[in-house]
C-alpha cells in the first residue's frame, strides 16, 4: 500500500476515535451513507443514540448540496450499531478523492463490516418513475478519477454484494437492479452523454457512489448500493432537470426506503 493510502487510513482512524468518544459507542457494525432524497428515510432506521455535525469530526467537511445535512448519527437498530452519515462530499466540490471517500474509510476504522451507499439519481429505464428504488448491480466509473493511490490492483468483481442484493429482494421482491454510471458533475448530463451511457450498459446516472464503493472493497467492507431514481435522465422526459424534484421524490418514497433500510441493517449479519 502506498503512503497516501496509509495517510488516508490514519485520518480515518482519527475520525473514528472522535466518533467513539463523542457517541459513547466504541465500535459500529454497519454504516449507511444517505444521499439526495434519502434523509427522510433515516428516522425509520432505529433509535438515535447520539448525533454530531460533520464539522466536529476530523477531516469531515460540511456538504454543500441541498438535502445533505452533514450530520453523523449513531443509531441502535435492535442491538445493531449503525453509523449513519446524512450527507457526503462529492467530487465536484473539488476537495479531492480522499475527501470523497473519507466517510467510507472512517466506517471501516470504526469497526463496520458493511457499508450501505445510497444516492438519488437519474434513471435510464422508462419503467422507473421518480420515487423508484433500484439496487445497484454494478457501476461504470466515468469520472476519470481513482480513489486509490499507487499500485493497488483491487478486484471489483461482485463489488455490490450479491448476498445483500438477494437479501433486499427477499425483503422487497419488486426491487429492480441497475448499472450506475458515475459522472463528475456538477452539471447534469447532455442527452448525448445519456445516449452514450445507455449504449455502454448504464441504467442509472449520478455523481457519487462508485468511488466510495471502490474504497469500501479496498477496505474489506461488504458493499450494498441503493439508488432512488428521482428523475428521468436528460433528454428522456422532454423536461429540464431540477434539484427540487429530487427532494420531493425522497419525501414521497421515504416510508418504502426507510422500511427497506431498517430491515437490511437488522438482517445483514
Ligand atoms: I438526484 O440525472 C440526480 N443526480 N449526474 N444525473 C446526474 N446526477 C443526478 C441526476 C441525474 N439526478
CA distance 166 to 11: 34
The pLDDT confidence band at residue 174, using thresholds 50, 70 and 90, is very high
The reported pLDDT for the residue numbered 255 is 82
Residue 245 has pLDDT above 80, yes or no: no
The pLDDT confidence band at residue 239, using thresholds 50, 70 and 90, is confident
Which pTM does this prediction carry?
0.96
Q: Per DSSP, which regions of 60-131 are E strands?
A: 71-77, 80-86, 114-123
The pLDDT confidence band at residue 67, using thresholds 50, 70 and 90, is low
Which residue owns the Cα nearest ligand 1 atom 2? 122
Residues 6+ positions from 68 with CB-CB distance below 8 Å? 35, 36, 39, 86, 87, 88
The reported pLDDT for the residue numbered 238 is 77
The mean per-residue pLDDT over the stretch 211-219 comes to 98
**Does the annotation mark 189 as catalytic?**
yes
The mean per-residue pLDDT over the stretch 161-174 comes to 97
Mutate-to-test residue for ligand 1 from 88, 122, 234, highest number of ligand atoms within 8 A of CB: 122
Residue 122 has pLDDT above 80, yes or no: yes
| Under 8 Å between Cβ of 163 and 223 | no
Residues 6+ positions from 5 with CB-CB distance below 8 Å? 148, 149, 150, 152, 218
How many angstroms is it from 122 CA to the middle of ligand 1? 5
Higher pLDDT, 243 or 208: 208
Q: Which grid coordinates are listed for 105?
A: 474509510
Higher pLDDT, 247 or 96: 96
**Pairing state of beta strands 80-86 and 176-182?**
unpaired
Mean pLDDT (the chain, rounded): 93
Q: Residue 151: count other Cβ atoms within 10 Å of its Cβ.
A: 7
- Of the candidates 269, 237, 263, the one whose C-alpha atom is nearest the C-alpha of residue 77 is 263
Which percentage of the chain shows pLDDT scores above 70?
98
Residues 6+ positions from 242 with CB-CB distance below 8 Å? none
The pLDDT confidence band at residue 66, using thresholds 50, 70 and 90, is low
CA distance 186 to 183: 9
The mean per-residue pLDDT over the stretch 42-69 comes to 88
The reported pLDDT for the residue numbered 266 is 96
How many angstroms is it from 32 CA to the middle of ligand 1? 20
The mean per-residue pLDDT over the stretch 127-144 comes to 95
Amino acid at each position: 500500500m502506498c503512503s497516501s493510502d496509509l495517510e488516508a487510513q490514519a485520518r480515518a482512524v482519527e475520525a473514528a476515535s472522535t466518533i467513539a468518544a463523542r457517541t459513547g459507542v466504541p465500535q459500529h457494525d454497519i454504516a449507511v451513507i444517505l444521499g439526495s432524497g434519502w434523509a427522510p428515510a433515516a428516522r425509520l432506521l432505529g433509535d438515535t443514540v447520539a448525533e454530531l455535525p460533520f464539522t466536529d469530526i476530523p477531516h469531515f467537511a460540511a456538504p454543500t448540496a441541498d438535502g445533505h445535512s452533514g450530520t453523523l448519527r449513531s443509531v441502535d437498530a435492535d442491538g445493531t450499531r449503525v453509523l449513519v452519515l446524512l450527507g457526503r462530499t462529492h467530487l465536484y466540490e473539488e476537495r479531492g478523492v480522499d475527501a470523497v471517500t473519507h466517510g467510507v474509510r472512517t466506517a471501516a476504522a470504526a469497526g463496520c463490516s458493511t457499508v450501505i451507499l445510497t444516492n438519488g439519481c437519474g434513471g435510464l429505464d422508462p419503467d422507473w418513475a421518480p420515487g423508484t428504488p433500484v439496487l445497484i448491480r454494478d457501476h461504470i466509473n466515468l469520472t476519470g478519477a481513482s480513489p486509490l493511490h499507487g499500485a493497488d490492483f483491487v478486484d471489483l468483481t461482485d463489488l455490490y454484494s450479491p448476498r445483500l442484493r438477494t437479501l433486499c429482494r427477499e425483503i422487497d421482491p419488486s426491487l429492480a437492479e441497475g448499472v450506475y454510471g458515475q459522472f463528475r458533475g456538477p452539471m447534469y448530463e447532455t442527452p448525448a452523454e445519456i445516449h452514450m451511457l445507455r449504449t455502454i450498459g448504464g441504467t442509472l446516472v449520478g455523481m457519487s457512489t462508485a468511488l466510495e464503493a471502490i474504497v469500501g472493497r479496498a477496505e474489506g467492507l461488504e458493499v450494498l448500493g441503493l439508488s432512488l431514481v428521482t428523475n428521468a435522465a436528460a433528454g428522456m422526459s422532454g423536461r429540464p432537470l431540477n434539484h427540487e424534484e429530487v427532494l420531493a421524490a425522497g419525501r414521497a418514497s421515504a416510508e418504502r426506503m426507510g422500511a427497506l433500510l431498517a430491515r437490511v441493517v437488522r438482517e445483514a449479519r
